[in-house]
Amino acid sequence: MVEDVGFLLSLGIISGVALLLGLLFARLRTSVIAAEILAGMLVGPYVLGWISDISVIGDIASVGIVVLLFLIGLELDPVKFLRMIRRAGSLTLLEMGLTFIVGLACAHFLGLDFSETLVFAMAASATSTAIVGQFLLSRGMRDQTSRLIVGILVIEDIVAVVFLIVISSLPAGGVITARTGLLAISETILGGFALLTIGVVVARYVAPPAINFLSHYEEEFEELPFFFAIGLGFAFGVLGAYLGYSAGVGAFIIGLAMRGKHSKYLSGKVAPIKGLLVFIFFVYMGSQIDPFPALQIWPAFALVAVLLIAAKYSGGVLIGRIMGARDPLGETDPRMVGAWLVPRGEFSFIIGQAALAAGLIDTSTFSILGLMVLVTAMAGPFLQRIGKKAASPSQHPFKPVRDS
């Protein structure tokens, strides 16, 4: 009987620790999501060891990221979003290139070998869609800056998928032939076109009639529209994974392809379950972090963390300034763009786990990557708060007044 409640006991322990840390982080006016990651690290197998079996939590966490990205896609207008992608695409690649170069330098400073250096730079280049997306959803994503950030995040996720393809093509020796590399990239491009095409067809010709039909049963059987909404997101998650992308990218594509009232209808059905699933996802991320190898070299790690934060922030500010100059309404805030690009997250873990499984890195390097995710997740909201204060006008006509 005790075994039957083991999973519930684990969730109870995690929730309690996350609550205490969340209250502390809220008083410090920083990210509660970072508190969830820290809670997972503390109670996980590497620190206190209160929860040693996290396999079930990991399965639920994979569902959480799919639901989150599905909702983000439903919240966006596809026309405005694609326009933003075209405008910010080259700038995003430039920003990622800057962070990648800084990541190479940091890895060399840490004394990593060639394959570890390459993996470290890849993992350090991608902003966390899950962490930033959670914040943007709470803001409603109606302003120009939020739309720009989401566009950047999706481009970075696509690049991160390419990184994963490279890692999966690398043998333990770290050598890849031009033929296998080009073949893998070509398959991914074709898979992307297929995913987009199927998404548009389903969103235009299949989903709207189904939603209209199911809405007649909503008053008496409200579960039926929910089953359709969540099933649609999961189906495209599976399709995205089958075509060489992550399940989250597939769910995002079908969410983005939906428009108007049908998009809002699906969002309303799925949103109630988001909180629990996303919470479990962030806790699971934290449980993967073994902080001790990184803490043994804490002076070097601190310098590396500062450099990686500065690289992302500077690249984001550069994008924000260039896009702001093109924004006729003047709604783009460069400081906010820079701050929101700082947190690393799920793709850093996924890249690290894939490299660890392939023998390209050891557990010590994975520990550094994991702690980097936690530090950057805490730094992003802090930089955002500083940016807001710097942008706030003084309330006194002659004497500057300190922002509250």
Better-predicted residue by pLDDT, 175 or 40: 40
**Any domain includes 403:** no
User: Model confidence over 11-30: pLDDT tens digits?
Assistant: 888 888 888 988 888 787 77
State the CATH number of the domain containing residue 34. Answer: 1.20.1530.20
Q: How far apart are CA 352 and CA 82, in angstroms?
A: 30
Give pLDDT, residue 395.
Answer: 42
- Residue 127 pairs in a beta bridge with 344
Does 315 map to a domain? Answer: yes
- Do the domain assignments include residue 399? no
394: DSSP letter: P
Lowest pLDDT segment from 83-92, 276-285, 344-353, 370-379? 83-92
Position 70 scores a pLDDT of: 85
Are 123 and 96 contacting, i.e. CB atoms less than 8 angstroms apart? no
Asked whether residue 332 is assigned to any structural domain, the reply reads yes
- Report the domain count for the chain: 1
Q: Give the three-class secondary structure for 55.
A: helix
Write down the pLDDT at residue 397.
42
Output the pTM of the full model: 0.72
String of DSSP letters for 184-250: HHHHHHHHHHHHHHHHHHIIIIIHHHHHHHHGGGTTT-THHHHHHHHHHHHHHHHHHHHTTS-HHHH
HSE-up (13 A, CA, CB side) for residue 246:
26
Instruction: Identify whether 402 is part of a domain.
Output: no
Domain around 180: 3-389
Residue 328 has pLDDT above 60, yes or no: no
Is 263 inside any structural domain? Answer: yes
The more confident residue out of 176 and 44 is 44
Is 377 domain-assigned?
Answer: yes
Residue 375 falls inside a structural domain: yes
